[in-house]
Structure 1
Amino acid sequence: MEFKDLEIFQMVAEKGTITEAAKEFSYVQSNITSRIQKLETELNTPLFNRHRRGMSLTPEGKKLLAYSKKILLLTDEMKKAVQSNQEPSGKLDIGTVETVIHLPKLLSTYIKKYKNVDLSLYTGVTETLEKEVLNHKLDGAFVTQSNFHPDLISHEVFQEELVLISDMRATTLEELKEEPVLCFSEGCGYRARLKAWFKDQDATPHKVMEFGTLETILRSVAEGLGISFVPKSVVTHMEQSKLIQCHTLPDQYSKIKTVFIRRADIFLTSTIEKFIETIEANPQ
């Protein structure tokens, strides 16, 4: 059994068809088919159910998938360990919540210094990014401080002040409670803080509208669509331009930390180690 056989097996399991797996590896379909058949022969068991829509894992295939993921992750870690003294290079997949205003500076500092790193950035809400780091889909992520899974380590990046924002109409906090709440999807740390404030005020938002980008939320607030709860640093320019107004909530809701999380059990390659050093050398 070769590592490549397991990689091909995992890709077919993920894509569900020989055709899609062949595209990912730039192989001919017959090559993928023969490698799967070879693996099934070696293990003396069928790994896939073949049907018109593609292929699905048999119970034995599901067992092998769990083991193959562990084997390939360990293999990857082994390669990184023996290359640990090398200059940072290769892929680095980082996640972030949308509101980390200082992130461009951090990324620019890192990439300019380590030009051989292929860094990719993915956005999402804290809860989703935490799961993707746990599942080895991301090397790390910038998220809102929370009670993280015990397999994660967090590095403090900076502290933010969250503010309730609305359009320029004269209004009170009591009146703002009646406005629609514009926010990211469930799992967002800012949304959770605002929800806690409403609860402690014995109030419930009359309407919650979910958006995919911060820019859309800010523009919608400026147009009077509703209110939102965001870091003050990302709306200072809008407040100064009198596009929106900011309302302060008590510290237990407004003071929040952004941290960088990673798995505690991964080998710290020079690539991720230098990334963490860059974070810690750039206090905000």
Structure 2
Amino acid sequence: MDIQLLHVFLHTAREGSISKAAQKLSYAQSNVTHKIQQLEADLQTQLFYRHNRGISLTPSGQILVSYAEKILNTIQEARAALSDSSVPSGPLHIGSMETTAAVRLPKLLASYHTQYPDVDFSLVTGPTEQHVHAVLHYELQGAFVAGPIEHPELVQEKVMDEEMVLVTSASHPPISSIHEVRTHTMLVFRKGCSYREKFSHLLQEEGLSPAKLMEFGTLETIIGCVSAGLGISLLPRSIVVAHEQQGRVRSHILPDKYSLVTTMFIRRKDALITPALSAFLTEMRSQFQENPKRCF
């Protein structure tokens, strides 16, 4: 089986479009189509359905995605394992929740980059659900997510506990119960965000439904809109402290059963721990062991 054909197939499957895959691979669209046809002929099965809306995976294609991910990742790991140098280098792709990246990671990343300048490091921010999917599909070597995450193919390591607080405009009076803000608009990240899920769980536990939900893509937008009085949000205290000191927002303590979220670092059990990842894990453990596990 031609590895290059698998590479093109996997990109096409992930993009869900031949034209998008061609653009990402810097190929002509006809070239991508031809390679997919070659692979289908080799395997004697149809991998994609072709329809007016584009393409979608057949059952055979869905099965091949899993094998293609493992095969291509194994080849990449083999190259790394056979490298002459034990010095951390090469690509390292890590995911993180936006709030963790904004407050907890800058010092860690700066220290890591200073010590290992040959590592081609990239940080992808997004919700927990997105990162779990990316780690499972070998798109990320690891990720900081809200946990615990129970999955047989993942290893998880506790990083810290974050205290969650209800955030309102600075002029809002003290809140003693979530029922007092049941008519407020809830400002949340997009679906898949663990903080959004915790907010929803809190409301359900209290027998409430949000009057209105407004979805935003960035932390700064949520903070800005809360400050302006558009609505309220649920965020880690570590994110809110500086904005509260500036008089932009006000935080309100939650009952203990709602107040904690554990940040975990996850990676695949079967993935090779490269020198770059090993050094990152060592630096991460050193960084967070210096501080209390409960980061309030």
The TM tier, using the shorter chain, reads 0.7 to 0.9
Output the amino acid matched with 1:107: L
- 1:233 aligns with one of 238, 242, 249: 238
What's the CA shift string for 1:161-180, capped at 9, x where partnerless?
11111111324334223311
Instruction: State the 1:40 CA deviation.
Output: 5.4
- 1:274 aligns with one of 275, 279, 286: 279
| 2:69–2:137 Cα contact (<8 Å) kept | no
What's the CA shift string for 1:51-79, capped at 9, x where partnerless?
89877766665555543333222222222
**Higher deviation after alignment, 127-136 or 174-183:** 174-183
TM-score (norm 2): 0.82
| 1:126–1:143 Cα contact (<8 Å) kept | yes
Q: Which residue of 2 aligns with 1:248?
A: 253
Q: Which residue of 2 aligns with 1:73?
A: 73
Structure 1 residues 29 and 205, CA gap change in structure 2 (3 angstroms)? closer
Instruction: State the 1:27 CA deviation.
Output: 5.4
Secondary structure of 1:276 counterpart = helix
Structure 1 residues 148 and 185, CA gap change in structure 2 (3 angstroms)? farther
Secondary structure of 2:238 counterpart = helix
Output the amino acid matched with 1:97: M
**Higher deviation after alignment, 50-59 or 272-281:** 50-59
Greater Rg, structure 1 or structure 2? 1
**Higher deviation after alignment, 175-184 or 67-76:** 67-76
Instruction: State the 1:264 CA deviation.
Output: 1.4
**Higher deviation after alignment, 56-65 or 188-197:** 56-65
Matched, 1:260 2:265: yes
Q: Which residue of 1 aligns with 2:132?
A: 130
**Higher deviation after alignment, 76-85 or 42-51:** 42-51
**Higher deviation after alignment, 144-153 or 1-10:** 1-10
Instruction: State the 1:127 CA deviation.
Output: 1.8
- 2:172 aligns with one of 162, 169, 172: 169
TM-score (norm 1): 0.85
- 1:194 aligns with one of 195, 199, 209: 199
| 1:180–1:206 Cα contact (<8 Å) kept | yes
Structure 2 unmatched ranges of 5 or more: 292-296
Structure 1 unmatched ranges of 5 or more: none
Secondary structure of 1:198 counterpart = helix
Q: CA RMSD in A?
A: 2.9
Q: Within 1, Cα distance between the matches of 2:231 and 2:46?
A: 56
Instruction: State the 1:243 CA deviation.
Output: 1.8
**How many residues were matched structurally?**
284
Identity among equivalent positions (%) equals 42
